[in-house]
Amino acid sequence: MTVDRGYCRLTATDAGRGATAVLRRVRATLVPGSDTEIEGTVTALFDRTVYLSVPVAVGRYQSSTVALSATDLRAGPLLARLMTPVGFSFRRHCQLSSACRLRTDGSGGLVVTVGPTLVVDIRSDILDVPTADTKLPFYSVRRFTFGSELVETHLRLLSWLVDSGVSDGIGHLDALHAVRMTDNGPVYESVPPSFVGFVSTVVTDLCHPATETNPSLPNNGAAASVRNVSVHDQSTPRSYLGCGPGATPAGDDILAGLLLVFSGLSDTWLQPDLKRFTDQLIAEANGRSTAASCALLEQAAYGRGADLVESCLRSLVAPQPCFAELKRDAERVLAIGHTSGAATLAGMLTATMLVLPHIQQNTGKLLHE
């Protein structure tokens, strides 16, 4: 690190797969050995993180966002972490909508200038790390069945979260806990209608084409007026976009948890509608939520999350779940942000406890091992 008359020069120590993919596309766009550069914009700014939008497009969702972060932030798919001094703040060097400029350094790396006083060096060895779409496991929807050991273990984790006073900021976790789970399926009589509508919409969007009989879905009419459950009045995935507190709104974090679980589904018959659902959600996010949230939703769709979240998801979908390991991983996820960790867990558990078992229940007669 170099500091001179207000100027600060930092070095990147590592980069997530999403950040690496965008930065490699930037490098490929620039002419090696020339003074050409491309210009982007600061789209979100915090003390320990700055989000940049650059004029390149990567992958299915034309991703163009990368984030620079302080040393002590947990690794994430969009983050290029920098070697920063104690007390460093990005706010001292740039502001929202400040320009950022990117050029090659002559040896395969990049030099990123943010605002008038911050320069970041990203070495070629960081950019050349392989960037697979996902490191997560793949699994069939048939793994998730009401009354199974897997779902029962997830219910145990949910009870522990709620009993510990964990909140996702918008009441989704409490509403999920209000569902009464039975071997034959969930009972929604004490669940907020908005939550029932949310689950029903997701299940219908994903399983309707594969169902030849009337689907067994949550019934809004069966949901009574709820007592002792605080939940917002949002009843569709679209309505969750941009909803709730947090640098990335809690509703978006819940949706990211859903998409992360969905990204591992291997059932070929589900893929067309899963793609349609995901594509529509991300397209609508661009007009309803923050740039940072939109980028994180895109990464979730690719099967990329923070390292701690990915580790928790592996425990969550393991065929033979271990509650002690799952609880340990969940505790680590809860340390992410103010509500982000809890909201992401809420989304993942909604997928594994309700959405996927409902799909399995509706399509089980049509599928065979």
Per-residue pLDDT tens, the chain, 369 aa: give them.
555 557 899 999 999 999 999 999 999 999 776 778 999 999 999 999 999 999 999 888 888 999 999 999 989 999 999 999 999 999 999 999 999 999 999 899 999 999 999 999 999 999 998 765 567 899 999 999 999 999 999 999 999 999 999 999 999 999 999 999 988 889 999 899 999 999 999 999 998 644 433 345 565 444 443 333 344 467 899 999 999 876 789 999 999 999 999 999 999 999 999 999 999 999 999 888 988 899 999 999 999 999 999 999 999 999 998 999 999 999 999 999 889 999 999 999 999 999 999 999 887 544 333
Contact residues for 129 (Cβ-Cβ < 8 A; gap 6+): 15, 20
**Do residue 158 and residue 10 come from a single domain?**
no
The predicted pLDDT at position 216 comes to 54
The predicted pLDDT at position 337 comes to 85
**Do residue 21 and residue 52 come from a single domain?**
yes
CB-based contacts of 62-66 (< 8 A; 24+ apart in sequence): 63/18, 63/21, 63/22, 63/295, 63/298, 63/299, 64/22, 65/18, 65/22, 65/291, 65/292, 65/294, 65/295, 66/18, 66/19, 66/22, 66/23
- Cα 319 to Cα 42, 148, 313, 349: the distances in Å are 43, 10, 12, 15
**Do residue 105 and residue 239 come from a single domain?**
no
Residue among 53, 69, 63 at smallest CA distance from 102: 53
**Do residue 194 and residue 65 come from a single domain?**
no
**Do residue 203 and residue 106 come from a single domain?**
no
Whole-structure pTM value: 0.89
Residue among 203, 236, 175 at smallest CA distance from 358: 203
- Cα 29 to Cα 55, 105, 154: the distances in Å are 10, 14, 46
The whole-angstrom separation of Cα 130 and Cα 126 is 10
Residue with tokens 């920098």, as numbered in its chain: 82
The predicted pLDDT at position 7 comes to 85
For 86, list phi and psi in degrees, rounded to 5.
-60, 135
The predicted pLDDT at position 224 comes to 42
**Do residue 332 and residue 291 come from a single domain?**
yes
**Do residue 260 and residue 171 come from a single domain?**
yes
**Do residue 221 and residue 329 come from a single domain?**
yes
Three-class SS state of 48? coil
The predicted pLDDT at position 221 comes to 46
The predicted pLDDT at position 33 comes to 65
**Do residue 113 and residue 168 come from a single domain?**
no
**Do residue 281 and residue 328 come from a single domain?**
yes
The whole-angstrom separation of Cα 304 and Cα 256 is 10
CA 268 to chain centre: 23
Domain membership flag for residue 183: yes
Residue with tokens 């909508």, as numbered in its chain: 97
Q: Which of 127, 151, 178 is the last residue of a domain?
A: 127
Domain membership flag for residue 35: yes
The predicted pLDDT at position 163 comes to 96
**Do residue 239 and residue 355 come from a single domain?**
yes
**Do residue 84 and residue 175 come from a single domain?**
no
Domain span holding position 96: 2-127
The predicted pLDDT at position 62 comes to 87
Q: Give the number of domains in the chain.
A: 2
